[in-house]
Amino acid sequence: MSEYLDHAGAGVSIGLVETRNFTFADPPGEIILESGSRLGPVTIAYETYGRLNREKDNAILICHALSGDAHVAGYHDPEDTKPGWWEHMVGPGKGIDTNRYFVICSNILGSCMGSTGPCTCNPNTAEPYALDFPVVTIGDMVNVQKALVHFLGIDVLHAVVGGSIGGMQVLEWCVRFPEMVKSAIPLATTIRHSALAIAFNEVARQAIMADPNWNNGKYYDGPKPDLGLAVARMIGHITYLSDDSMRHKFGRRLQDKSDFSFNFDADFQVESYLRYQGKKFVERFDANSFLYITKAADYFDLAREYGDGSDVDAFSGATAKVLLISFTSDWLYPTYQSRDIVKALKKNGLDVSFCEIEAKWGHDAFLLPNERMTSMIKGFLSHVGD
């Protein structure tokens, strides 16, 4: 892989990369999901950056959020104008330095970005699974990631890193496979969804299912529920921002006009922005995958799964060194939820560092360039094992 200046001129990129596929669990060896359902074969799309060292102890797994994919850094084609979703963080000399670490990112189970999900062909029917796809959990996603990690010849991960739903996967890794995780960096995440977060997800799901084109999930051969999915994305996008960021970006400014239209066009810039985000999302994401992933996030609760209701008990088997980061303007997963995780980890005697970073961009702040976050992650990773 050649390294070159990224298209924005903001440093050295990892360069050209490709997405690979790992397929396993062929019948009769299907995986058993937490729901009790069997699923197989399972294909996972993934990318890797950097080189695995001789000791195979320099691997870092990055876990993506709801609408993310395996393409975390670099470019798929020399003509690409947009790099991977965490390009400013992953690459030579960057926060997650591919000169030092072998970085892995895989598309989660249930998604539509190359991994097995509801839009995948069901081998039993030769048609997309649609709602015949079984409900999956964050734990199921992590089990599949573990299979990929072992396929790559790795027994222990130097670190697992991720934000939002990716942060849930990081926490799940810590308690499900503690022997495999040296360190963990959960960003802008929570140990369980609040009623508020569940409510927003449910409204978004209902927007999809109310679309007349949804057809109980069987829309793959006809018109798709684009309007419902666009509205769902608009709802979600509001939760990713903050009052401060929306005031800064939009205020009450009008969009390409000097006065109100006195109809239901997008008069305000924020209206136009949300409509644009919804339209763009429809072009790249599957409505059923949105339903499945948000449901997995709503089900996530480590204390229920491992601690019989106790956050402290949930982490009783964890051994990883942890750096946990929250953001001041994140009202989807506010800092008090991160502090609850820190308390539970510390009561188990774990080595925990915590930082609340001042940022006005809301929940999405973990995806945006931030020198303090980058410096903290780089320093933390370099001292794992000290």
Catalytic residue (choose from 226, 326, 363, 364)? 363
135-160 as b/e, with b when 16 or more CB fall inside 10 Å?
bbbbbbbbbbbbbbbeebebeebbbb
Enumerate residues 6+ apart whose C-beta is below 8 A from 142.
169, 172, 173, 176, 177
Residue 359 near residue 365 (C-beta atoms within 8 A): yes
Catalytic residue (choose from 67, 164, 242, 245)? 164
26 catalytic residue (yes or no): no
HSE, CB side, 13 Å, CA atoms: give it for residue 357: 26
**Cβ neighbourhood burial of 253 (10 Å; 0-12, 13-18, 19+):** exposed
Show the CA angle centred on residue 60, arms to residues 56 and 63, nearest 5°: 145
Beta bridge partners of 12: 5
Q: How far apart are CA 79 and CA 161, in angstroms?
A: 29
Q: Which amino acid is at 164?
A: S
Show the CA angle centred on residue 363, arms to residues 362 and 365, nearest 5°: 75
Tokens 């062929």 belong to which residue?
26
363 catalytic residue (yes or no): yes
Tokens 């980890």 belong to which residue?
345
Residue 70 near residue 22 (C-beta atoms within 8 A): no
301 catalytic residue (yes or no): no
Distance, first Cα to last Cα, the chain = 31
Sign of the C-alpha dihedral, residues 204, 119, 176, 68? negative
**For helices 287-299 and 165-176, angle between their N-to-C axes, nearest 10 degrees:** 50
Q: How many helices (H) and strands (E) does the chain have?
A: 11, 16
Catalytic residue (choose from 326, 330, 338, 364)? 330
- Helix%, strand%, coil% for the chain, nearest 5: 35, 20, 45
Q: Which positions are catalytic?
A: 164, 330, 363
